[in-house]
A and B are shown apart, each in its own frame.
Chain A
Amino acid sequence: MSDRLGTGARGDFPLLGREMRGRPIVYLDSAASSQKPRSVLDAMTNYYETINANVHRGAYEIAAEATEAMETARAEVARFVNAPSADEIVFTKNVTEAINLVARSWGGANLGPGDAVVITEMEHHANIVPWHIMADQLGFELRWIGVGADGQLDLGNLDRLLDGAKLLGVTAMSNVLGTLNPVRRLADAAHGAGALVLVDAAQYVPHLPTDVQALGADFLGFTGHKMCGPTGIGVLWAKAELLEAMPPFLGGGEMILDVRKDGFLPNRIPHKFEAGTPPIAEIVGLGAAVRYLDGLGMDRVREHEVSLTAYALRTLEERYGSDLAVHGPAEPACRGGVLSMSFRDIHPHDLSQVLDDRGVCVRAGHHCAKPLMRHLGVPATTRASLYVYNDTSDVDSLADALGAAGDFFAR
């Protein structure tokens, strides 16, 4: 384990210096949003203090510097996920907007009655609801890959589901179960059936080395705030030829080459999909986040999380046995550091309240995955999630707090 990870990384994150009720904060909700390192905050402040100006327009020096900073960040993000070209990186507000962009623009132009889109039962609502909306409008069929008892996708009838499908949408890692899905295998099967592949990589890009080409994706979205970056910035990566062929999503400034009374000429990619003034400081912040993660090394981030997840699963099993269920794959190498728990019959809302009383931040609820919750047969779970700054002491604090909650509700 690298000493720059875990305890070694904590000092990089100002918020983690905070105390909650006299104890250091135990932040175990990075799957919802990660904390931000000082370097990201500094990059954004520095942008505002030294080069703030609108991009792609002004002829003066700071406007050129702002544009340069934004386009440098785009290139860094492209390199981070091994995109063949920075022109394939479209900045959006978050991954939700990235998926909506695909559903509206590509879907609007390519889907209709008789077509099918295949998604999985473990998708986040962000990769469900846009397809519901478009299915209502366009009349295509929405098909579902189910989840098996082991928290893995049930691929038994994959060929049948893909027959006649035009797109397969899949999360690379479940935000509830931690399951790492076999994206490459799914992509090969989808391509074999003539379908494109959209990957929701919101929980993948922050935690594993990502290579969009090796994954075999056609579209891949992720979100800045879960990967040490600011809120308000997300990314859609898509193959250039797809972006070229797709109609614009939002219309306005930045996304045009020419506007006349009888029409407009869209800008070249990626700007064609970036209408209006972009979130420049957030883009700069995302660039700094990518540099920070590169500095840690994504291989080491993954190693750190696998060993910490193994420690957590072991510790919780030793202390609570069958009183505590962690949903999803049991093998740390097959999953991410997302631990969705059911503890005795204590409702997740009540459990997280007692944990909060001890400064342990976890998430209780359906995690925007209601179809999956129905499959699991629970209304909600209590989810603890691990990231670069967590270490075994955080897991121990979680385990202690669970014990306190058990005592509290047993009284």
Chain B
Amino acid sequence: MAGLEDLYREIILDHYRNPRNRGELEVPPAVQAVGFNPLCGDEVIIYVEVSDGVITDVSTGGQGCSISQSSASMMSTAVKGRRVAEVRRLVRAFKHMMSIHGTGIGGTGDDLDDDGDGGNGAAEVKLGDLEALRGVVKFPVRIKCATLSWNTLVQALDETFA
């Protein structure tokens, strides 16, 4: 049985208490997407501004538990200033880490890794601080909390290029 320390790493609690890139961006030029976790009612709002294929600004809003809020905060720092193509690879790598399958724990989990690459190539992407969220996989009901902002970011990016 995994302990609470596996879940609530110090860096996670830090991002929860002092969320980065919190707020709203003007729409347009930014695009806004809203994600819901139907299980617990958590809600995250992601704003992204893209220019010349680069995420020039990102902001997060909404409410949720420490895992969903810290994941959104960490996501925002990880994608700001990066190229969209690079960010999509990062999203894949993150979701791969967050899949029960991806970390080699048995059982059926979130089939987030549905792009069929089985995580190939994802391994080379550096996750950095995001690694702190790896422990979430040991608490399967919380995986959706961790991935909520990432799925919402993808929605916002898809909308940007729609």
Answer whether residue A261 sits at the interface, using C-beta atoms and an 8 A cutoff: no
17 A-B pairs besides A350-B65, A379-B40, A409-B13 with CB distance below 8 A are A21-B1, A347-B64, A348-B65, A349-B64, A349-B65, A349-B142, A349-B145, A350-B66, A353-B7, A353-B142, A364-B40, A365-B40, A365-B41, A373-B41, A379-B43, A380-B41, A408-B4
Whether B42 lies near A379 (C-beta < 8 A) is: yes
Whether B4 lies near A357 (C-beta < 8 A) is: yes
Chain A to chain B contacts (Cβ below 8 Å), 15 pairs: A21-B1, A348-B40, A349-B64, A349-B65, A349-B66, A349-B145, A350-B8, A350-B65, A350-B66, A357-B3, A364-B40, A366-B41, A373-B41, A379-B43, A380-B42
Residues of B contacting A349 in the complex (Cβ-Cβ under 8 angstroms): 40, 42, 64-67, 142, 145
Distance in angstroms from B141 CB to nearest chain A CB is 9
Q: Which residue of B lies closest to A21 (CB)?
A: B1
How big is chain B's contact interface, by range? 10 to 19
Answer whether residue B85 sits at the interface, using C-beta atoms and an 8 A cutoff: no
Whether B63 lies near A379 (C-beta < 8 A) is: yes
Which residues of B1-56 are within 8 A (CB) of A?
A: 1, 3-4, 7-8, 13, 39-43
Distance in angstroms from A327 CB to nearest chain B CB is 15
- Distance of A148 Cα from B41 Cα, bound (Å): 22
- Distance of A366 Cα from B145 Cα, bound (Å): 15
Which residues of B89-129 are within 8 A (CB) of A?
A: none
Report whether over half of chain A's contact residues are helix, strand or loop; otherwise say mixed.
helix
Residues of A contacting B66 in the complex (Cβ-Cβ under 8 angstroms): 347, 349-350
Q: Which residue of B lies closest to A374 (CB)?
A: B41
- Distance of A349 Cα from B8 Cα, bound (Å): 12
Distance in angstroms from A348 CB to nearest chain B CB is 7
Q: Which residue of A lies closest to B40 (CB)?
A: A365
Answer whether residue A354 sits at the interface, using C-beta atoms and an 8 A cutoff: yes
Chain A residues packing against B (C-beta within 8 Å): 21, 347-350, 353-354, 357, 364-366, 370, 373, 379-380, 408-409
Residues of B contacting A380 in the complex (Cβ-Cβ under 8 angstroms): 40-42
- Distance of A404 Cα from B142 Cα, bound (Å): 20
Residues of A contacting B142 in the complex (Cβ-Cβ under 8 angstroms): 349, 353
Distance in angstroms from A375 CB to nearest chain B CB is 13
Whether B1 lies near A370 (C-beta < 8 A) is: no
Whether A379 lies near B41 (C-beta < 8 A) is: yes
Distance in angstroms from A124 CB to nearest chain B CB is 14
Residues of A contacting B65 in the complex (Cβ-Cβ under 8 angstroms): 347-350
Residues of A contacting B42 in the complex (Cβ-Cβ under 8 angstroms): 349, 379-380
- Distance of A409 Cα from B4 Cα, bound (Å): 11
- Distance of A353 Cα from B40 Cα, bound (Å): 13
- Distance of A357 Cα from B138 Cα, bound (Å): 13
Q: Name the residue among A349, A353, A365, A409 with the largest chain B CB count within 10 angstroms.
A: A349
- Distance of A408 Cα from B4 Cα, bound (Å): 9
Residues of B contacting A379 in the complex (Cβ-Cβ under 8 angstroms): 40-43, 63-64
Whether A366 lies near B4 (C-beta < 8 A) is: no
